[in-house]
Amino acid sequence: LHNAFDKRDESKKGTIGSERIVDLIKDVFGPPLNGTLIGYAKDLGKNLSEDGGLSCENFIVVVKHLMFETTRWGMLKTAPERPIGLDSIQEQVRQKLIRFGLTFNIMVVGASGLGKSTMMNTLFKSKVNRWVSSDTSEDKLIPATVEIKTISHVIEEKNIRLKLSITDTPGFGDQVNNLKCWEPIINHINDQYQHYLFEERRIERKPRIPDTRIHCLIYFISPTGHSLKAVDIECLKRLVKVVNVVPVIAKADSLTLEERQAFKNRLRNDFERNGINKLYPMLHKGLEEDEFQKNKTIKGLMPFAVVGSDEFVTIKGQPVLARKTRWGTVEVENPSHNEFPQFRDMLLRTHLHDLIDTTAEVYYEHYRRNQLQQMEDDEP
């Protein structure tokens, strides 16, 4: 650290300008250091500086604070002289997943007839909707949802088991009076938090508390081509405070490519104008640079314009998930036809674990803190 400081102390006065702390920190920790830590270092360096100059001793204090906040220690990290087996951690995590599996809970919200249940079938390439378990007739139509109901499945792929729970909701905003029609949905989400909190506070807790908390809420927007409905705005403003919300434009094949892009632009303007800025994934300075860029790319696509289908159509001799119409065939997994592939990749291949972690560390933690604070205030 003294050597790094001396290289930047060109005047050899024993101090450097506090504004140069960023360059010095990057010399030590390397460029992957994220924006939050760099900002933290700047503020700390400014507070410790005397007459605008930062001494080597105070620079070491800044470094010590940063070392508690990150494992990206750059030139300060220690490389073992011989292998010690840390590279086996990935295999240990994989074995734990094989043994216990993973729990993932989804809620779908939107107006009737937008294909919410069909989209779940498409997403998991399985019959996971409500008519499968009791289907004894030839009629394959999915019945309308009349109450909040959860269906659970265990999906297994390459020895990894996913306990999937899908919570379907009645057609949203279908009533004549839609005042506070979002309350049953928010109450259901909070009930799952409350159940988890109750289990967590028991004297004799279960080794593994059953997790029914909603990890992702997929919000289906009607492909009107205009803008968000008032009921959508009011609902989204409240939902983003309690759960990870991923908006999608349902049945996007009803719009031309030009109409679809114009509609997405209007929706983004509506989100910004109405303060709906906490849609998942969120961009914040605590992200590493690669994570930030990945999330920024996803944000650029949202809301995803998707098409769902659980029927296969033969195209060039290959069975393909598609919707066949009089004017052509829409391939569900073709990125040039719709954005379902990007939506699926985000949900299952790149951000599934982050959705679970964000639920626990942000939304549940916020609920838990408020509940415990209220209990403390109610005590005599």
pLDDT exceeds 60 at position 47: yes
Q: Provide the mean pLDDT of the chain.
A: 86
pLDDT at position 13 is 82
Q: pLDDT tens-digit profile of 360-372?
A: 999 999 999 999 9
Question: How many angstroms separate the CA atoms of 361 and 147, rounded?
Answer: 29
3-class secondary structure for 159-203? CEEEEEEEEECCCCCCCCCCCCCCHHHHHHHHHHHHHHHHHHCCC
pLDDT exceeds 70 at position 202: yes
pLDDT at position 318 is 86
pLDDT exceeds 50 at position 268: yes
Q: pLDDT tens-digit profile of 165-196?
A: 999 888 776 666 677 788 999 999 999 999 99
pLDDT at position 174 is 65
Q: Which residue has the higher pLDDT, 220 or 292?
A: 220
Cis? peptide before 223, omega within 30° of 0: no
Alpha carbon separation from 241 to 101, 128, 244, 283 (Å, rounded): 29, 28, 8, 16
User: Strands, E, within 13-157: which ranges?
Assistant: 15-17, 53-55, 102-109, 149-157
pLDDT exceeds 80 at position 305: yes
Give me the residue label for tokens 């378990």: 133
Question: How many angstroms separate the CA atoms of 267 and 282, rounded?
Answer: 17
Question: How many angstroms separate the CA atoms of 214 and 368, rounded?
Answer: 15
Q: What is the pTM of this model?
A: 0.82
Tell me what percent of the chain is helix, strand and coil, each rounded to the nearest 5.
Answer: 45, 15, 40
Q: pLDDT tens-digit profile of 52-84?
A: 788 888 888 888 888 887 777 787 888 888 888
pLDDT at position 263 is 95
